[in-house]
Structure 1
Amino acid sequence: MSSKFVAEAIGTFILVFFGVGSAVLMGEHIGMLGISLAFGLSIVAAAYGIGPISGAHLNPAVSFGMMAAGRMSGRDAAIYSIAQVAGATLAAAVILMIASGRADYSLATNGLGQNGYGAGYLGEYSMGAAFLFETVATFLFVTVILGVTQNGAPTNLAGLAIGLTLAGIHLVGIDVTGVSVNPARSFGPAIFAGGAALSSLWLFIVAPLLGGILAGFAHSLGVTSAQ
C-alpha cells in the first residue's frame, strides 16, 4: 500500500501542477481552452505514468466511486484520498511559490486557481447551479472511468479516454465553478487562498463525492456496466 500511497500523491501532484498551474501561471495567455487541455493532458500523463502502480485515481470521488462499485474497500479508498489530498496540497504550495516570484502577483487579487461560485466568481453562477454541475459532471466522469477500466474494455486506451473526458468537462464548466469534480484538487488551492474559497470548499467535497458514489452504485447495479 505504501507504493500506491506515494503513487497517488505524485499523480495528484501532476494533476494539480499541470491543471491549476496552467490557470495561475498561464491563464491569461492560453485561456479556458488551454486550461481544459492542461487538465486533460495531466490525467493522460499520470494514468500511463503511475496507473500500473495504483490505478491513478488522483481523486477521492473516483476512489469512493470504486468503493461503491465494489472494486476497493472503504479503508483503501480513505487511504487513497489522504494521499491525493497531500499531493494536491503540495502542488498548490509549489504553484504559489512560483507565482509569488512574479513581480505583480498577489494571492488576494490573482488567486490560486481555486474553485468557487456566486458573486465575483467567473460566471457568477448560483450555489444550486454549482452543486448540480459538480454532481452531474463527477457522475459522468466516474462513469467513464469505471466503464473504460472494466473487464473486457480496451484498457490500453483508458488513460486517453479519461483525460479527454476531463478536458471536455472543463470546456463545459470552467465558467460555472472553475471545475472541481475532485475534492483534493479543490482542497489544495483553497487552504492557501482562504476566504471565499475555504468557505465554499464544502460544496466541492460533497457534490463530487455524491456524484462519484452514485456512479459507483449505478455501475455495481449493472446500469452502466457490461456485466
Structure 2
Amino acid sequence: MADSPAPALHSLTARLIAEAVGTFFLVVALIGTALFTSSYVSVLGVSLSIGLVVLVGAYAFGPISGGHFNPAVTLGAAAAGRLPWKDVLPYIAAQLVGGIVGSSLLALIALDGPKGFSTSAHAGGFASNGFGDHSPAGYGLVAAIIAEVVLTALFLYVILGVTHLRAAAGFAPIAIGLTLTIIHLVSIPIDNTSVNPARSIATAIYGGPEYLAQLWVFILAPIAGALLAGYTFRFLFDRKPIVGEGSYLDTYELSGEGDASAQPTT
C-alpha cells in the first residue's frame, strides 16, 4: 500500500453517516431475525439474514464509506493500508452508535411484545455472544477465542482480496455476504458468532450482566484476527516480484493507489 493513501471521494461526515446507518441495518436485521422470528428458525435462517444484509448494505453504502459496519473490518483495513489510521476512531464511533441505536430499537419493540421484554423467551440474552454456560452448545472460552480470531482473520482476507485493485469489479458484496453466511453457519453454535465488536456490544448491553462480563472476548478476539489478517495480507498477497531484482514492491505502490475506502469492504 502507498505510504499516503489517496483522498476519499466523500467527506468524513458522509462516510460516518453511512457507517452508522449500515451498522444499524446490520444489527436490526441480524438480531431482529434471532429475537422475533419463530424459536424454530434454524441457524441457516439467521446466517442467511446476516449474509443478505451485508450484501445489500455493501452495495448501498460501500461506494460511500467502504461499507465496513464493523470495527474489526475498519482496523483490518487500516492495517492493510486501505484506510487512513486517522479515520479509524471516527469510523468505530459511528459503528458503535449505529449498532446501539439498532439494538435499542429492538429492545423497545420487545418491550411491547406479548410477554414483555423481561420475560420473553426471545429476549433471553438478547442474542448476545457468550461461552461456557452462555454458549448455544456449551463451548468454552478457548473455543470462542479460537473461532473468533480465525474466522475474523479469514473474513478480512476475503474482504481484502475481493476489493483488491485487480479483483473483478462489482462482485465484492456477493463474496463478502456469502463468506459471512458461512462464518455464521460454523460459529453460531460455538458462541452465537461475533466477528464484529459493534454487534457484540450492541446486544450485550441488553443481554444482562453475565453477557457483559464475557464481552471482552468478543471485542479483543475479532480485533486480533482482523489486525493479523490486515498486516499479513500485504506480505502474503499484495506484493509481486520484480523480475531480475529479487525484491518486491506492493501492488498498490506500483499502481499509485492506496485507498480502497470507496470500495465495498464490509
The two structures have a TM-score, normalised by structure 1, of 0.95
**Matches of 1:32 and 1:189, distance apart in 2:** 18
Unmatched segments (≥5 aa) in structure 1? none
2:167 corresponds to 1:167: no
The corresponding residue for 1:182 is 196
The corresponding residue for 2:263 is none
**Matches of 1:27 and 1:39, distance apart in 2:** 17
The corresponding residue for 2:237 is 224
The two structures have a TM-score, normalised by structure 2, of 0.82
TM-align CA RMSD: 1.4
The corresponding residue for 2:129 is 115
* AA partner of residue 78 (structure 2): M
Unmatched segments (≥5 aa) in structure 2? 1-11, 240-250, 252-266
**Matches of 2:16 and 2:91, distance apart in 1:** 6
* AA partner of residue 115 (structure 1): N
Aligned-residue identity in percent: 41
**Matches of 2:200 and 2:49, distance apart in 1:** 16
Does the 8 A contact of 1:123 with 1:175 survive in 2? Answer: yes
The corresponding residue for 1:36 is 47
Residues 155 and 81 (structure 1), Cα distance of their counterparts in 2 relative to 1, 3 Å cut: farther
Q: Which digits, 9 at most, give the CA deviation of each residue in 1:33-59, with x for residues without a partner?
A: 100000000101100111111010000
1:106 deviation in Å? Answer: 3.6
Which has the larger helix fraction?
1
Q: Which digits, 9 at most, give the CA deviation of each residue in 1:179-206, with x for residues without a partner?
A: 0000000000111222111111110000
Q: 2:22 aligns with which of 11, 14, 20?
A: 11
* AA partner of residue 159 (structure 1): P
Q: Which digits, 9 at most, give the CA deviation of each residue in 1:122-152, with x for residues without a partner?
A: 1111101100000000000011000000101
Aligned residue runs from structure 1 range 81-160, under 5 A: 81-107=92-118, 110-160=124-174
Q: 2:217 aligns with which of 181, 187, 203?
A: 203
Q: Which region of structure 1 is more displaced relative to structure 2, 67-76 or 86-95?
A: 67-76
The corresponding residue for 2:73 is 62
**Matches of 1:148 and 1:69, distance apart in 2:** 14
* AA partner of residue 29 (structure 2): F
Residues 146 and 107 (structure 1), Cα distance of their counterparts in 2 relative to 1, 3 Å cut: farther
The corresponding residue for 1:52 is 63
Does the 8 A contact of 2:125 with 2:206 survive in 1? Answer: no
1:107 deviation in Å? Answer: 3.9
